[in-house]
Amino acid sequence: MIIQSKEIEQHVIENVAELMCAAARTAPKGRGIDNLVTMIVKGRTKDQLVEEMKRIAQTSNAQFFERDARCLEKTQLAVLLGQKVKPMGVQPCGYCGYANCKENVDKSGLCAISIGDLGIALGSAVSVAAQHHVDNRIMFTIGRAALNLDIFEEDVTVAYGIPLSVSGKSPFFDRT
C-alpha cells in the first residue's frame, strides 16, 4: 500500500486542527468558566467564509479582508475559536472600562477577562500548529465573517479564525 503526499498532508492537517481545538479547550480560563466554542471548517463552509470576507472588503473598503480571503482560499481548512463573552464577576477589576460587572452589562460592554481567555486559547492553539510545523496565522477577518454568517449557532460575540496550510511555502508570509 502506498499513501501519497496529498492524502498524508490532509490527514496531518486535520489531526493538527483537532489537537489545536483540544489545546484551546484546556487553556486556562478566568474563574474556571469555559465559554469557548471551537470548530473546524473546510470545503463549502470555508468557501462561504472566503466569499463573505470578499463581500466585507467590497462594502467597507477594508482591503485586508480581501487579502486574508485570498490566503484562506489557498488553505485546506481553518480552525475557528469563538467566545461567548460574559462578565466573570471578578472584583475588583474594571478592565472593561466600567466600575463593575453590573455596569458592564447595563452598558452592553464586553468583559475583558472573558476576551482575554479567548486570546490565551488562541495562543495555545497556534502553539500546537507550530509544534507540528503547520503554517498558520490568527485572523480577525475570518472570525468576523464567521459571525456574520452565524456559523457558530451559539451566543458567540467575538471570534477568530486560524487557517492552516501544509505546502512548500506559507500562504501567510509575504502577503500583499
**pLDDT tens, position by position, 106-122:** 999 999 999 999 999 99
Spatial neighbors of 104 by CB under 8 A, at least 6 apart, are 87, 96, 98, 110, 111
pLDDT in tens, 38-67: 999 999 999 999 999 999 999 999 999 999
| Residues forming a β-bridge with 163 | 78
Instruction: Give pLDDT, residue 43.
Output: 97
Q: Which CATH number fits domain 5-165: 3.40.109.10, 1.20.1420.30, 3.30.710.10, 1.10.8.60?
A: 3.40.109.10
Give the pLDDT of residue 154: 79
The pTM is what?
0.95
Write out the three cell numbers for 33: 468558566
CA–CA distance from 134 to each of 13, 20, 26, 116 (Å)? 7, 11, 20, 25
Q: Could you check whether the bond before residue 87 is cis, i.e. omega within 30 degrees of 0?
A: no
Please report the pLDDT score of residue 175 as a whole number.
66
DSSP 139: B
> Rounded mean pLDDT of the chain?
96
* Confidence (pLDDT) at 176: 63
- Examine the pLDDT at 166 and tell me if it is beyond 90: yes
Say if residues 143 and 163 touch (Cβ distance below 8 Å): no
- In the predicted model, what is the mean pLDDT of residues 61-85? 97
pLDDT band at residue 163 using 50, 70 and 90 as cut-offs: very high
